[in-house]
Amino acid sequence: MDEIFTPFSKEEMIPQAELLEIPRKKEKFCIGIPRETNNQEKRVLLTPDAVEVLVSNGHQVMVETGAGEGAHFNDKEYSEAGAQISYSTREVFENPIILKVGPLTSDELKWIKPMSFIVSSVTPNILNQDYFVKLSKKKITCVGFEYIRDEQNQLPVVRLLSEIAGTTSVLIGSELMSTAHGGNGILMGGITGVRPTEVVILGAGTVAENATRTALGLGASVRVFDNSLSRLRRLQKNVGSLFPTSTIDPKELNKSLMRCDLLIGALRGDSRTPCVVTETMVERMKEGAVIIDVSIDNGGCCETSKITTHDNPTFIKHGVVHYGVANITSRVARTSTKALSNFFLPYILMIANDGGFDRLVVCDKTVRNGIYLYKGRLVNRSLGERFDLPFHDINLLLL
């Protein structure tokens, strides 16, 4: 009897031993959370509740004393969550993983151990080439908030903070328009029989969306400028209301600025924010008008803007009140801390469960997108061009 035709050999037809997946070994991390000392930063990256989850999963967390005070989380809360409270900043930086909100200071650059892993924000406007060179010499791996992208190619941390910044900017503007702060004594939104406040918003991104929603909710008259019609259309759809929009035409923008009571600058650029409001335009604005330049950390979109601090947040130029605090979300530190903690806690657990950072960076594009320095090599092209440093493609380094 002829054998039945089959494309497989006799050896291949023999039952094979079942191959079981080898479970990945979970990593245990030693994490340091230092107290923020620069730029009047009050946020902290993890709440006591998040620390408790990490400790219950076998991780060690060291928190510098007073790290959470700015967000109204005290040492006792962190200690009861299982964290070790350290009274030495240097001791905190001896941990292989550092979770920080702001960039490292000059002293922290000296204390950080070689081959460490840092998660922090990157503020190119206040950094210099030497900062990246020092990190590179120690073969540090750095993840920047601003560069993390999710599966939808969105910037989740930037969006979180932008939502807070957008709402906060309108509330700050409302406060600065009062007579006590040098404004015109105008109530945000107006009342029956009184014209509504005129608000101009530059940009149609997440900051603008939340600023627009808040201003409209308070009863203000809002006009948004952006050079992308699709972004303007999306903004109107997301807000769920029709309001005047326009492309950034200098003549049209100048007319709106002459009438407005509050200007919110929320434009973004690839490297530097486009400066679309000239000093001449500011000179023509009403005396006592307010400018909140949310984009100041990337240069600002007003020619007259400059970086200010939480202690001295405003200055007056040409009769216009300017607000230029770079870390505006630190003004509402507790809300910002909870938002950041909600994002980073699942990622830390995921990295631990998937066998550690080195393994996950190869497999997970989300984590890989956030890296701007990989084992001492700069892998972010925009930073390389801005600070005249050699750029390396991270995908080639992982081969």
Q: Are 356 and 57 in contact (CB under 8 A)?
A: no
pTM of the model: 0.84
Cross-strand partners of 144: 120
- Burial group, residue 192, by CB count within 10 angstroms (0-12, 13-18, 19+): exposed
| Distance between CA atoms of residues 177 and 191, nearest Å | 15
Q: How far is CA 396 from CA 244, 362, 391, 399, in A?
A: 47, 11, 12, 5
Tell me the C-alpha distance between 220 and 195, whole Å. 9
C-alpha torsion 280→283→284→285, nearest 10: 120
Contact in structure between 284 and 257 (CB atoms under 8 Å): yes
Mean pLDDT confidence for 169-189: 89
Q: Write out pLDDT tens, residues 86-101.
A: 999 999 999 999 999 9
Do the Cβ atoms of 310 and 325 come closer than 8 Å?
yes
Measure the CA–CA gap between 125 and 271, rounded to whole angstroms.
Answer: 10
Residues in the chain: 399
- Reduced to 3 states (helix: H, G, I; strand: E, B; else coil), residue 302 is strand
Per-residue pLDDT reduced to its tens digit, 39-85 = 688 999 999 999 999 999 999 999 999 999 999 999 999 999 999 99
- Residue spans of alpha helices (H) in 260-316: 279-283
- CB burial of residue 341 (10 Å; 0-12, 13-18, 19+): buried
Q: Round to whole Å and give the CA distance between 260 and 272.
A: 25
pLDDT for residue 25: 67
User: Please, where are the H alpha helices in the chain?
Assistant: 10-13, 48-56, 75-80, 89-92, 106-111, 129-137, 156-176, 206-217, 229-239, 250-259, 279-283, 333-353, 357-363, 365-370, 381-386, 394-397
User: Minimal CA–CA distance to 303: which of 282, 285, 319?
Assistant: 282
Q: What is the pLDDT of residues 18-41, one digit of tens each?
A: 766 666 667 788 999 999 987 688
Report how far apart, in Å, the C-alpha atoms of 99 and of each of 54, 93, 381 are.
13, 10, 24
Percent of the chain exceeding pLDDT 90 equals: 63
Give CA separation, 12 vs 6, 8, 140, 214, in Å: 11, 6, 49, 68
> pLDDT per residue over 112-127, tens digit each?
999 999 999 887 777 8
DSSP conformation letters of 219-262: T-EEEEE-S-HHHHHHHHHHHTS---EE---HHHHHHHHHH-SE
One DSSP character per residue, 171-216 reads HHHHHHTSGGGTS--PPTT--TTSPPPEEEEE--SHHHHHHHHHHH
* Gap between the Cα atoms of 1 and 396, Å rounded: 57
**Using CA atoms, how far apart are residues 208 and 215, in angstroms rounded to an integer?**
10
228-286 pLDDT, tens per residue?
999 999 999 999 888 999 999 999 999 999 999 999 999 987 667 889 999 999 999 99
List, for residues 301-350, the tens digit of each pLDDT value: 999 999 898 889 999 999 999 999 988 999 999 999 999 999 999 888 88
